[in-house]
Amino acid sequence: MTTKTAERCGELANIRYTWPGKDEVIACVNCAQKAANVANAIGLHLQLVPVTSRDVVDPLDWPICQQMKNTV
């Protein structure tokens, strides 16, 4: 058993992107940039789309970045 738990990023998510064949991801700018860098490294173009208030159901409850801190 390990007591180490994966930590979520927790920043406000302002960017969305989609890996080919995967569901759309909503992430903060930093995590999205990291993902874009990874994509570039393997020759993929990842389109980063800003999340606007039209994309969120409740602007007062803005989505939080769900990326794991120690991964892309």
Q: Name which of 3 and 50 has its Cβ closer to Zn ion.
A: 50
Give the start-end residues of each E strand in the chain: 15-18, 24-27, 49-50
Q: How far is the CB of 1 from Zn ion (least distance, A)?
A: 28
Q: Name which of 12 and 44 has its Cβ closer to Zn ion.
A: 12
Compute the distance between CA of residue 66 and CA of residue 43 in angstroms, rounded to an integer: 25
Compute the distance between CA of residue 3 and CA of residue 34 in angstroms, rounded to an integer: 27
Contact 32, 67 (CB under 8 A): no
Binding interface with Zn ion (CB under 5 A): 9, 11, 28, 31, 65, 67
Q: How far is the CB of 24 from Zn ion (least distance, A)?
A: 15
Q: How far is the CB of 47 from Zn ion (least distance, A)?
A: 18
Q: Name which of 42 and 70 has its Cβ closer to Zn ion.
A: 70
